[in-house]
């Protein structure tokens, strides 16, 4: 445990009985971790016993256990109180709608013509909104839109963002003329008919007469796609030439859309990212994760040489651990182990 945190613990005056329960609780946690480690090792005896990231998890578990006891004490020091008061913060983020959704809904509710809304983090954290409409409309509502966003950020306690409202460019979509529309319809119908006659597996034929390109998407395995690609291309060229539409390019693709259930990291990380990156005090510049083993990686703007770096890294880790142990998140994680890495600006671990 970080020396500063340990020193703060040592300053807390608590009854001897309570102090004994803390020590016993920590020892019990160590024993439970050892038993768990042995059981998992027996199931996976062909692998290394423990990785450093798993050790991070159990190290944090002991710290959280001791904090849980201290919460019931009336003798919590100001430094410890600050850490403890932040623990429920990420759970509140997880239970509420993401900040982008809140802003979008409020702007739509007020009738503003929003064409895009997003958040950028480099080089600074900015909520960016683009408005549709004339110059007069933009000038009329710009300040009100910005004020609406600032009020939402203030209500959430998010002080790390600036707000940028800009005017979108007028979009004019190209409309096919009569001859181009006829060309498109003929080629799409004729190529589709020929593909069906030859029993090719496909799901889409599109023709762009402005680019003189026929797009054909093949359905099936890679092996099937590779076996028919050249033949389908030749067939499409013949159909175009036969209908006196020469010089067409053929684009034969195999584009598949695979919908997968979001993995555990993807379900959990957005709340951690929003919660930590939205407040200046945490100095967080990036939040990510990787699987196998699951690891949450936090980047900060503090240098490792900063005297406050270790305390900040420990505070961030404890917040995340308590969040992952909560009733909302623990069912998602199940029994999967995880690691937490908090890095300084100079890429050194500070937790």
Of the chain, the percentage scoring pLDDT greater than 70 comes to: 72
Q: Which of 274, 292, 278 is closest to 339 using CA atoms?
A: 292
**Res. 347: pLDDT tops 80:** yes
For residues 163-191, average pLDDT: 89
Report percent pLDDT > 90 for the chain. 57
Q: What mean pLDDT comes out for the span 193-212?
A: 95
With beta carbons less than 8 A apart as the criterion, state whether 313 and 342 touch. Answer: yes
Please choose, from the candidates 65, 7, 105, 86, the residue with its C-alpha nearest in 3D space to the C-alpha of residue 281. 86
Mean of per-residue pLDDT scores for the chain: 80
Cα separation, 131 vs 142, in Å, equals: 8
The residue ranges of DSSP E strands in 138-283, in sequence order, are 162-167, 202-208, 213-218, 249-253
* Among the ranges given (59-63, 258-262, 335-339), the one the predictor scored with the smallest mean pLDDT: 59-63
Residue 195: strand, helix, or coil: helix
Q: Pick the residue with more confidence: 209 or 41?
A: 209
Tokens standing for 33? 């971790």
Sort residue 350 into left (φ over 0), alpha (ψ -120 to 50) or beta: alpha
Strands 284-290 and 249-253, how do they pair? unpaired
CB-count burial class (<10 Å; 0-12, 13-18, 19+) for 228: buried
Q: What is the pLDDT of residues 20-73, one digit of tens each?
A: 433 444 444 444 445 444 444 444 444 333 333 333 333 333 444 433 444 344
* Percent helix, strand and coil across the chain, each to the nearest 5: 50, 15, 30
Domains annotated on the chain, with CATH: 1-86+262-351 (no CATH), 98-167 (3.30.300), 178-253 (3.30.300.20)
Q: Is the pLDDT at 287 greater than 70, yes or no?
A: yes
β-bridge mates for residue 214, sequence order: 207, 250
pLDDT of 135-172, one tens digit each? Answer: 999 999 999 999 999 999 999 999 999 999 999 876 66
pLDDT band at 88 (very low <50, low <70, confident <90, very high): confident
156 burial class (0-12, 13-18, 19+ CB within 10 angstroms)? middle
The angle formed by the CA atoms of residues 326, 327 and 333, to the nearest 5 degrees, is: 75
Q: Show the tokens assigned to 335.
A: 């029994």
Range of lowest pLDDT (42-56, 219-233, 239-253): 42-56
């Amino acid at each position: 445990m970080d020396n500063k945190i340990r020193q703060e613990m040592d300053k807390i005056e608590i009854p001897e009985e309570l102090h004994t329960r803390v020590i016993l609780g920590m020892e019990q946690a160590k024993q439970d971790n050892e038993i768990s480690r042995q059981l998992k090792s027996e199931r996976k005896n062909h692998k290394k016993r423990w990785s450093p990231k798993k050790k991070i998890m159990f190290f944090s578990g002991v710290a959280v256990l001791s904090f849980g006891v201290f919460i019931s004490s009336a003798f919590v020091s100001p430094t410890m109180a600050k850490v403890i008061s932040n623990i429920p913060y990420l759970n509140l983020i997880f239970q509420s709608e993401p900040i982008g959704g809140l802003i979008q809904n409020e702007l739509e509710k007020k009738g503003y013509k929003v064409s895009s809304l997003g958040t950028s983090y480099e080089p600074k954290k900015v909520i960016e909104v683009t408005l549709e409409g004339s110059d007069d409309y933009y000038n009329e509502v710009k300040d009100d839109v910005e004020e609406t966003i600032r009020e939402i950020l203030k209500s959430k306690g998010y002080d790390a963002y600036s707000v940028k409202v800009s005017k979108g460019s007028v979009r004019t979509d190209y409309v096919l003329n009569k001859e181009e529309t006829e060309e498109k319809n003929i080629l799409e119908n004729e190529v589709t008919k020929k593909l069906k006659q030859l029993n090719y597996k496909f799901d889409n034929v599109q023709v762009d007469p402005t680019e003189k390109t026929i797009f054909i998407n093949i359905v099936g395995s890679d092996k099937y796609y590779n076996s028919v690609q050249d033949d389908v291309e030749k067939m499409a060229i013949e159909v175009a030439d036969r209908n006196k539409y020469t010089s067409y390019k053929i684009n034969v693709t195999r584009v598949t859309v695979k919908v997968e259930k979001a993995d555990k990291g993807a379900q959990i990380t957005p709340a951690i990212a929003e919660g930590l990156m939205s407040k200046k005090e945490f100095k967080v510049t990036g939040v990510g994760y990787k699987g196998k083993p699951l690891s949450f990686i936090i980047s900060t703007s503090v240098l490792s040489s900063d005297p406050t770096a270790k305390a900040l890294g420990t505070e961030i880790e404890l917040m995340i651990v308590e969040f992952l142990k909560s009733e909302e998140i623990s069912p998602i994680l199940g029994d999967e182990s995880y690691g937490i890495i908090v890095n300084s600006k100079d890429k050194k671990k500070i937790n």
